[in-house]
Amino acid sequence: MAPDEIDNTDKGIIYLLQQDARKRTVADIGEQVGVSSSTVTNRIDRLEEQGVIKGYHTIVDYTKAGLGHHLLITATVPISKKEELLDEIMEVSGVVSVRELLTNNDNLSLELVGRTQGDIEESLEDLDSLGVNLARVEIMKQERAQPYNHFGQEFADEEDVG
């Protein structure tokens, strides 16, 4: 889908879903962007089918969930094997996300969680056995997220619906 195919209604819907997809009904979204709930449903379905909306994810405070080890890892895998390794990396216990970076070196960003140091060490050994070369490992303290400002609030009148 080309960016110019996303109109202001789509932008408002995406903005509201990014803000809080769990608590928003299609009726609420429709009221806020000025269309019917069936239009919102159709728009969401189309955006999902076209891959603009790829899923809905819960942001977890892993420390509060008993997983006190939360790491961000920058890594390198051979470019020729990157595509085949992505699924294998996702299967490693504790890996919760993988981002492919457009560089030759340090071409992956991984998020890894574990209950204990032993859990983390085991996951790191599994990554190593796959040929993942760890460049940098950082302990993550907290995460915040917000909707991208291109999908701005101006397309969703949030004052009308509480």
Distance CA 41, CA 46 (A): 9
Does 129 lie in the same domain as 80?
yes
Tally of structural domains, the chain = 2
Confidence (pTM): 0.73
Does 46 lie in the same domain as 77?
no
Within a domain: 158: no
Does 30 lie in the same domain as 82?
no
Does 124 lie in the same domain as 76?
yes
pLDDT tens for residues 18-41?
988 999 999 999 999 999 999 999
pLDDT tens for residues 55-101?
988 888 888 898 989 999 999 999 888 888 999 999 999 999 999 99
Name the CA dihedral angle for 44, 46, 52, 54, rounded to a multiple of 10 degrees: 70
The domain that contains 40 carries what CATH number?
1.10.10.10
Within a domain: 114: yes
Helix pair 8-20, 26-33: axis angle to 10 deg: 130
The domain that contains 73 carries what CATH number?
3.30.70.920
Does 75 lie in the same domain as 30?
no
Does 129 lie in the same domain as 76?
yes
Does 130 lie in the same domain as 77?
yes
Question: What φ, ψ does residue 60 adopt, rounded to 5°?
Answer: -105, 135
Q: What is the DSSP secondary-structure string of 41-64?
A: HHHHHHHHHTTSS--------TTT
Does 81 lie in the same domain as 40?
no
Q: Which domain holds residue 90?
A: 69-139
Helix pair 26-33, 37-49: axis angle to 10 deg: 100
For residue 160, the model assigns a pLDDT of 45
Does 132 lie in the same domain as 76?
yes
Does 73 lie in the same domain as 53?
no
Contacts of 148 (CB under 8 A, 6+ apart): 18
Within a domain: 16: yes
pLDDT tens for residues 100-145?
999 878 999 999 999 999 999 999 999 999 999 999 999 988 888 7
